[in-house]
Amino acid sequence: MKADAKKKEPLIHITRRKDVSLLRSIVIRAAAIVLALIVCALVTTFLTGENPIDVFGTILSGAFGTPRKMWVLGQEMAILLCVSLALAPAFKMKFWNLGGEGQILMGGLAAAACMILLGSKVESGAMPQWLLILIMVVASIGAGALWAFIPAFFKAKWGTNETLFTLMMNYVATQLVAYFVILWEVPKGAGKIGIINQSSEAGWLPVIGDYKYLLNIIVVLVLTVGMYVYLKYSKQGYELSVVGESERTANYVGINVKKVIIRTMLISGAICGVAGLLLVGGTDHTVTTTISAGRGFTAVMVAWLAKFNPLGMIFTTFLLVLLSRGANEISTVFSLNKSFGDILTGIILFFIIGSEFFINYQIHFRKSHKPEAAAAVPAEDPHKEALEQILRDAETAAQSVSKEETK
Amino acid sequence: MIDWLTFIPRAVIQGVPLMYGSTGEILTEKSGNLNLGTPGIMYVGAISGVIGSFLYEQSCGGAAENMNGFLAVAIPLICCLGGSALMGLLYCFLTVTLRANQNVTGLAITTFGVGFGNFFGGSLIKLTGSEVPSIALSATSNFFRATLPAAENMGWFGQIFLSYGFLAYLAIVIGILASVFLKRTRRGLHLRAVGENPATADAAGISVTSYKYLATIIGSMIAGLGGLYYVMDYANGVWSNNAFGDRGWLAIALVIFTIWRPAVSVLASILFGGLYIMYLYLPTGMDNLAVKELYRMIPYIVTIIVLIITSLRNKRESKPPESLGLPYFREDR
């Protein structure tokens, strides 16, 4: 009897929480991050032998140690945040845009193409600098949007799997960039373009004051606020979240799902194109196949962890960039491989991903059965009462149906 | 003109990692788990094998004479299977037990796995304090690359069919076995049921959780072998960071290309292996180097075209498992 009761009731049983309080979700996430940081420190200690407390010191000095490092931190955050902002509306629509890499590359390639092809005109004075920059902005946004439009079109029209389509578009873009890099390489045979327009600085985005990265940061901040408003308060933002929740509902209430898919992806690609423009025109002044450095993928996780809330993304980008800059410092100090940052990023992601469960679900442990209580209860099926109730209900229902039929 | 006698063996060699990756991913996806962590898992499988055999070679003084052939193969194999199984377990724990989003978890696994591979690939020598200039496991690699002694004397037949290490044949065997398993066995049927409609499978008394766990972990182990093959056989035991490249993603794309059929993936992988190196064989004009970069797009463009065609045909047989990518929560109905 006791064994039977135990068999029927599993050790743990899980229910979805009806309402999740903000405080609770913050506490759980914070706990997950703290745990993750402890694990990261232990892993670092295991590999390098450094005292775990010092590990955090190294991470912090890698991120904030000098004004230059802080600017780099800001710049890295800005670009990653920019890509995350781009992906957020697509993900909110449940369109898995894994093509951020390709869209950034195309934006960057377009900017570089303008700088290379039109740079001499600026040098000779035939074209003002502002016009070139304007052309670059338009070209980058257009190229990024085009790269997002292609998979969006097929998804909207025939439901083609967007996850793999966008993924493959990344590699097509990479090869396209590789092609142009060889075409434009300086000097011939170098295999890279090098700094474009080094002497004339044609097409270089303006530097505000002495701060090379300030413009990027300001642009991305404006985009962040814009995206927040767009997603939260605009009609289009509402439409895409309805499409994300249920395409059927969207159809039913008269939303043109195809149009929303294509429009949202155009925005997504356009902002990725901006990220490419900022990288090529603002900081690198050259284009390579690796300018996006995996940000198209990291941004997927940034956006998802922040639940597609642009303001939350500021925090998640900060966390990930801080960690990767810190890991960079650790690998430099101990002359280890730079990929150390990816391991730490992975660990922290696993913890945050896992913590979602404890926010959304509640675990009930089986209550311990007291032996005497179990003996006192007569050997009766615990479900008997409920079953009888169901039978009674069924009978009354059947009676009412037959009454209606006789009428 | 293409020299088929050299082209086909090279296509097969390129195809084997894809074969492992896609067979593993098909098995995983049949349980309803879309594991985007496969590229990372293949890196982990490769580097785990490398770590195992590196330590073994070091303990033998790096001399092939001291090494036991069986151990030289078994140690990397076991390390590789163990490493990739752990990654599969982690994926399952997060997505099945903790019901996390599969795409995000998969990408996190890939970030971690690729980082793990490159980190240990780049730091193993420093961490173990050994005095070799680079990771070159040629002694171990020779065991992996051993072919039948008669293969060289059999002309074109030997070159096309018998010139590969044992892992290449194992890939084909696993592909065919997986196909038989899915189509002809009761457990295969159960697995497909779990992927199509976990609620129904659950009601029929099939343990959804254990099928998902087992399929994903075994799938990850198979995928990991692809990484091991790449390092030990294709790359002659030399690890170089990021050399494995995007093969993991191509393997995932192949799953759709083959419409979730492992036996087809054996042939499709060889075809893709051929497409992968096609750029070396296609004629180029004057501007040869740059055009080669464009030729390297071929496998991706072919994948895109196949994706579009399968979505256009929209047949029932070419649909993914119904619950692919969705978590199953019994109490949620």
Q: Is the pLDDT of residue B309 over 60?
A: yes
Hey, what are A317's tokens? 């980008």
Task: Give the closest-approach CA distance of B207 to chain A in angstroms.
Answer: 14
Least confident segment among A323-327, A366-370, B50-54: A366-370
- Whether B307 sits inside 8 A of A350 (CB atoms) is no
Q: How far is CA A131 from CA A126, A214, A358, B233, in A?
A: 11, 21, 53, 55
Q: Is the pLDDT of residue B277 over 80?
A: yes
ipTM surpasses cut 0.85:
yes
pLDDT value for A367: 67
Hey, what are B34's tokens? 């879309």
> How many whole angstroms separate alpha carbon A205 and alpha carbon A275?
13
Q: What percent of chain B has pLDDT over 70?
A: 89
**Which whole number is the average pLDDT over B7-23?**
90
pLDDT value for A70: 85
Does residue B271 or residue A118 have the better pLDDT?
B271
**Which whole number is the average pLDDT over B95-101?**
88
Interface test with A, best of B22, B111, B128 (most A CBs within 10 A): B111
Q: Is residue B327 in a domain?
A: no
What is the SS3 assignment for A146? Answer: helix
pLDDT value for B103: 86
- Whether B118 sits inside 8 A of A339 (CB atoms) is yes
Least confident segment among A73-77, A157-161, B99-103: A157-161
Does residue B10 or residue B313 have the better pLDDT?
B10
- Assign A387 a pLDDT band (cuts: 50, 70, 90): low
Q: Is residue B229 in a domain?
A: yes
Per CB-CB distance under 8 Å, the chain B contacts of A172 are: 297, 300-301, 304
> How many whole angstroms separate alpha carbon A350 and alpha carbon A5?
36
> How many whole angstroms separate alpha carbon B196 and alpha carbon B320?
9
**Which whole number is the average pLDDT over B285-290?**
64
pLDDT tens digits, residue range A390-406? 666 666 666 665 555 55
**Among B217, B202, B222, residue whose Cα is nearest residue B42:** B222
Q: Is the pLDDT of residue A373 over 90?
A: no
- Whether A297 sits inside 8 A of B114 (CB atoms) is no
What number of helices (H) and strands (E) belong to chain A? 16, 2
Q: Which residues of A232-246 are buried (b: 16+ CB within 10 A; e: fewer)?
A: eeeeebebbbbbbee
Per CB-CB distance under 8 Å, the chain A contacts of B112 are: 342-343, 345-347, 349-350
Overall domain count for chain B: 1
Query: Does an H or E element contain B314, and which?
Result: none
Residue A16: strand pairing partners: A361
Please return the burial class of A86, using the count of CB atoms within 10 Å of its CB with bins 0-12, 13-18 and 19+.
buried
Task: Give the closest-approach CA distance of B99 to chain A in angstroms.
Answer: 7
Predicted TM-score of the model (pTM): 0.85
- Assign A104 a pLDDT band (cuts: 50, 70, 90): very high
**Which whole number is the average pLDDT over A311-321?**
88
pLDDT value for B306: 83
Q: Is residue B252 in a domain?
A: yes
pLDDT value for B227: 92
Q: Is residue B120 in a domain?
A: yes
Considering only CB atoms, A47 lies closest to which of B34, B127, B253, namely: B127
pLDDT value for A378: 46
> How many whole angstroms separate alpha carbon A253 and alpha carbon A123?
56
Please return the burial class of A159, using the count of CB atoms within 10 Å of its CB with bins 0-12, 13-18 and 19+.
exposed
- Whether B307 sits inside 8 A of A159 (CB atoms) is no
Q: Is the pLDDT of residue A2 over 50?
A: no
pLDDT value for B11: 87
pLDDT tens digits, residue range A30-82? 898 889 888 888 888 888 777 777 778 888 887 788 888 888 888 888 899 99
> What is the extent of the structural domain holding B251?
4-322
How confident is the prediction for chain A on average, in pLDDT?
A: 81
| A124 contact B CB<8A | no
Q: Is the pLDDT of residue B85 over 70?
A: yes
Q: Residue B21 in contact with residue B42, Cβ under 8 Å?
A: yes
Least confident segment among B10-19, B41-50, B278-287: B278-287
Query: Does an H or E element contain A287, and which?
Result: none
pLDDT tens digits, residue range A7-42? 566 677 777 777 777 788 888 888 988 898 888 888
Q: Is the pLDDT of residue B287 over 70?
A: no
**Which whole number is the average pLDDT over A155-179?**
87
pLDDT tens digits, residue range B313-333? 766 666 778 888 788 877 765
pLDDT tens digits, residue range A261-297? 899 999 999 999 999 998 888 888 888 888 878 888 8
Interface test with A, best of B259, B260, B307 (most A CBs within 10 A): B307
Please, which residues 342-361 of chain A have a Cβ atom closer than 8 Å to chain B? Answer: 342-343, 345-347, 349-350, 353-354, 356-357, 360-361
Least confident segment among B6-20, B45-59, B288-302: B288-302
Max Cα-Cα span within chain B: 66
Domains of chain A: 2-16+364-406 (no CATH), 51-333 (1.10.3470)
pLDDT value for B24: 94
Considering only CB atoms, B311 lies closest to which of A158, A172, A353, namely: A158
**Among A265, A270, A275, residue whose Cα is nearest residue A144:** A270
Per CB-CB distance under 8 Å, the chain A contacts of B115 are: 339-343, 345-346
**Which whole number is the average pLDDT over A192-217?**
77
Task: Give the closest-approach CA distance of B104 to chain A in angstroms.
Answer: 6
Hey, what are A374's tokens? 């179990």
Q: Residue A112 in contact with residue A118, Cβ under 8 Å?
A: no
Hey, what are A100's tokens? 């951020």
> How many whole angstroms separate alpha carbon B190 and alpha carbon B206?
7
Residue A364: strand pairing partners: A13
Interface test with B, best of A340, A353, A363 (most B CBs within 10 A): A353
Query: A255 Cβ partners below 8 Å, 6+ apart?
Result: A239, A242, A243
Most confidently predicted of A187-191, A341-345, B206-210:
B206-210
The single-letter code of the amino acid at B82 is G
Which chain B residue's Cα is nearest to A342?
B115
Which chain A residue's Cα is nearest to B252?
A164
| A302 contact B CB<8A | no
pLDDT tens digits, residue range A230-244? 888 888 888 888 888
Q: Is residue B330 in a domain?
A: no
Phi, psi of A193, deg, nearest 5: -85, -35
- Whether B287 sits inside 8 A of A183 (CB atoms) is yes
Q: Is the pLDDT of residue A381 over 80?
A: no
Task: Give the closest-approach CA distance of B172 to chain A in angstroms.
Answer: 25
Q: Is residue B220 in a domain?
A: yes
pLDDT value for A62: 79
DSSP 8-state class, residue B164: S
pLDDT value for B101: 86
List alpha helices for A306-339, DSSP H.
310-333
CATH at residue B279:
1.10.3470
Per CB-CB distance under 8 Å, the chain A contacts of B297 are: 171-172, 175-176
pLDDT value for A402: 58
> How many whole angstroms separate alpha carbon B48 and alpha carbon B74?
12
Most confidently predicted of A238-242, B177-181, B301-305:
B177-181
> How many whole angstroms separate alpha carbon A152 and alpha carbon A94?
12
- Assign A375 a pLDDT band (cuts: 50, 70, 90): very low
**Among B116, B172, B107, residue whose Cα is nearest residue A352:** B107
The single-letter code of the amino acid at B235 is A
Q: Is residue B331 in a domain?
A: no
HEC letters along B208-225: HHHHHHHHHHHHHHHHHH
pLDDT value for B41: 94
**Among A107, A90, A92, A94, residue whose Cα is nearest residue A146:** A107
Q: How far is CA A152 from CA A6, A39, A79, A299, B149, in A?
A: 52, 40, 24, 19, 54
pLDDT value for B63: 64
